[in-house]
Amino acid sequence: MSIQDSTPPERGDFIREIVAADLRDGRHEQVVTRFPPEPNGYLHIGHAKSIALNFGIAQEFGGRCHLRFDDTNPTKEEQEYVDSIQADVRWLGFDWGEHLYFASDYFEQLHEWAVCLIQAGKAYVDDLSADEIREHRGTFTEPGRDSPWRDRPVEESLDLFGRMRSGEFPDGARVLRAKIDMAAPNINLRDPALYRILHAAHPRTGNKWCIYPMYDFAHGQSDAIEGVTHSICTLEFEDHRPLYDWLIENLPVPSRPRQIEFARLNFTYTVLSKRFLLRLVEERHVRGWDDPRMPTIAGLRRRGFPAEGIRDLVDMVGVGKANSVVEVEMLEHAVRGVLNRTALRRFAVLRPLKLVIENYPEGQTEEMDAVNNPEDASAGSRKLPFTRELWIEREDFMEDPPKKFFRLAPGREVRLRYAYFVTCNEVVKDAAGEIVELRCTYDPATRGGDAPDGRKPKATLHWISADHAIPAEVRLYDHLFSRPDPGAEGDLFDDLSPDSEEVLEGCLVEPALAEVPLGETVQFERLGYFCPDLDSAPGQLVFNRTLGLRDTWAKVQAQGRRSV
């Protein structure tokens, strides 16, 4: 065995152990996984876990991962979702190469197999209505009852199934059911439906079909057609595994995939359900699927979260069998970890207050050297223009400061970062008594931010030259929900936070911020991480707050918040 062979994969979890053992024991030559989204909505961060797991395993073990659309329900599925899902998987950093598939490509084969089952006496057409079938199904404690159509002759089922396909019957009139065991303790084995009538055009197959396979009939068989070795899904499918295996065993499929379940990813202050997310969009609680408050991949991207941060989060959480809720602060921590390393530092003033330096020459501009990223010397520096009139953050000044306020106040000296020390001498107010301007003096000997006599102001402020400031709109984002466990005590919609978005107009930013490309997140010094929004245009800048600077994950952990 070479050294490489004996090196365990970087990430160890029970699924990777199974895959490693299967390869070691020669059960498969190559691992094949798949990510199987239903194109009925945008991907969310929960999907990122499944994507990272499926594509990650294929990468680590030298196999391949398919992207397969589970497009078996034409009433809910749209091309927009197919496109967004592909864009999001790519953005997350994964690539399916030539292995892009659609369950609808297998409709003909699936139909053939359904006919095989009928011929073998293992499936029948049932004339009961959906309600009657439900009544016959029984409960967890009571067995189900046989449908009166369960033992109809094979020929009759074949005939009816053919007529279902040719469009003779209305929606819901009949279904094709597997004939397994109405007394099975596992309800999924009580003659589950395999095909239903649905007179609906399909985005890919058009009007060719008016019967569509159920998820359980399509999924495992699609896996088998593609030669998937490990069909990795979330825990809610654990009870479907006996059916998955039954179908594989009873059909002449070309390969035998194995289903393995893992725990879903969930977060505090977050709801991950496409059905609910769709309602948020349709009822206009948000700006769209890619609203920066949405837990969708498109939303997180628009919010300024780097893909690397999302991948790091997935690694931190790991893969297990127990469903749990991850603190959203952990995701934020992972994202800050990446941004702290990579984000360029910039100056922006969200709520501007004018500062005039009375002893600074009018009309003079100095270029101050400002470091782009103290964590990354290769990011270099930029020139910040400094002039007599500046803008500072309104909350960096208090006329009558309490004890612990160390920033600017009358008679007090502070450092303007990369520039000079300034002292406030006078406060100018308007007729309404609102502070509109600070009159200050500067110490020319402190250029660059250090005093020759070694004195050190207690505060360092950011600033922007009034002559060079560029106006911008800044959108401040916070959790979409006001409680960590939305919906726990009532309607989800009542828990939507009224403060999840605050739009600030009249913000001012340094010249370098006029040119931040879409997709890049920067740090506004002392304020947080921000990125240009899709709505941004030259001359009409819009920035989103990605996150504040303070990492609260350690605190949340220490408190052991476990309310959910």
Query: Is 56 near ligand ATP (CB under 6 A)?
Result: no
Give CB contacts under 8 A, 24+ apart, made by 427-430.
427/399
At residue 34's C-alpha, the angle toward residues 28 and 38, to 5°, is: 155
Examine the residue annotation and report whether 403 is marked as an active-site residue of this protein: no
Report the residue number, 175 or 265, with the smaller CB distance to ligand ATP.
Answer: 265
Other CB atoms within 10 A of residue 131 CB: 9
Tell me the C-alpha distance between 282 and 275, whole Å: 11
- Record the tokens describing residue 354, joined without a space: 């004018």
- Record the tokens describing residue 208, joined without a space: 């060719």
Tell me the C-alpha distance between 253 and 246, whole Å: 12
Query: Is 295 near ligand ATP (CB under 6 A)?
Result: no
Is the separation of the CB atoms in 230 and 57 below 8 Å?
yes
Query: Is 417 near ligand ATP (CB under 6 A)?
Result: no
Is the separation of the CB atoms in 366 and 433 below 8 Å?
no
| Span interacting with ligand ATP, options 264-272, 286-294, 356-364, 492-500, rule CB under 6 A | 264-272
For 434, phi and psi rounded to 5 degrees?
A: -80, 140
Applying the rule CB under 6 A, the residues between 57 and 96 that interact with ligand ATP are none
Site track 8-37 with ligand ATP (rule: CB under 6 A), x = hit:
----------------------------xx
Closest residue to ligand ATP in the complex (CB): 46
Examine the residue annotation and report whether 34 is marked as an active-site residue of this protein: no
> At closest approach, how far in Å is the CB of 16 from Mg ion?
24
Site track 507-526 with ligand ATP (rule: CB under 6 A), x = hit:
--------------------
265 binds, among ligand ATP, Mg ion, none (CB under 5 to 8 A by kind): ligand ATP
| Span interacting with ligand ATP, options 111-119, 185-193, 269-277, 438-446, rule CB under 6 A | 269-277
Query: Is 265 near ligand ATP (CB under 6 A)?
Result: yes
Applying the rule CB under 5 A, the residues between 13 and 42 that interact with Mg ion are 38
Tell me the C-alpha distance between 394 and 355, whole Å: 10
> At closest approach, how far in Å is the CB of 75 from Mg ion?
14
At residue 314's C-alpha, the angle toward residues 21 and 520, to 5°, is: 135
Examine the residue annotation and report whether 274 is marked as an active-site residue of this protein: yes
Report the residue number, 112 or 315, with the smaller CB distance to ligand ATP.
Answer: 315
Tell me the C-alpha distance between 139 and 141, whole Å: 5
> At closest approach, how far in Å is the CB of 228 from ligand ATP?
12
Query: Is 50 near ligand ATP (CB under 6 A)?
Result: yes
CA 473 to each of CA 11, 151, 328, 341: distance values in angstroms, whole numbers, following the listed order = 42, 69, 27, 26
Query: Is 233 near ligand ATP (CB under 6 A)?
Result: yes
Query: Is 264 near ligand ATP (CB under 6 A)?
Result: yes
Tell me the C-alpha distance between 183 and 165, whole Å: 30
- Select from 446, 449, 453, 454 the least CA-distant residue to 418: 449
Provide the binding-site residues for Mg ion, judged by CB under 5 A.
38
Residues annotated catalytic, as ranges? 38, 264, 274
**Footprint on this chain of ligand ATP (rule: CB under 6 A):** 36-38, 46-47, 49-50, 233-234, 264-265, 272-274
